[in-house]
């Protein structure tokens, strides 16, 4: 888990694994944790990033 800080914005994101990056963008009503199981499996072969 990581945080990105910029002026008036604090953004939490998951960043796991190594390799080709895959970015998961969730719909407005949901959170990045909706991809929990996909992130766990894909992080074995890819770098997965899920902003919240």
Does residue 1 register a pLDDT over 90? no
Handedness of CA 47, 29, 2, 8 (dihedral sign): positive
pLDDT in tens, 13-29: 889 999 999 999 888 88
Domain span at 22 = 2-51
By the 8 A CB rule, do 11 and 50 touch?
Answer: no
* Count of structural domains within the chain: 1
pLDDT in tens, 31-52: 878 888 999 999 999 999 998 8
Give the strand order in the sheet containing 47-51: 2-6, 9-16, 47-51, 21-23
By the 8 A CB rule, do 4 and 10 touch?
Answer: yes
Average pLDDT, the chain: 89
């Amino acid at each position: 888990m990581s945080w990105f800080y910029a002026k008036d914005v604090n953004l939490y994101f998951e960043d796991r694994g190594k390799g080709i990056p895959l970015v998961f963008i969730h719909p407005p009503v949901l959170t990045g944790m909706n991809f929990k199981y996909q992130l766990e499996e894909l992080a074995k072969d890819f770098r997965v990033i899920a902003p919240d």
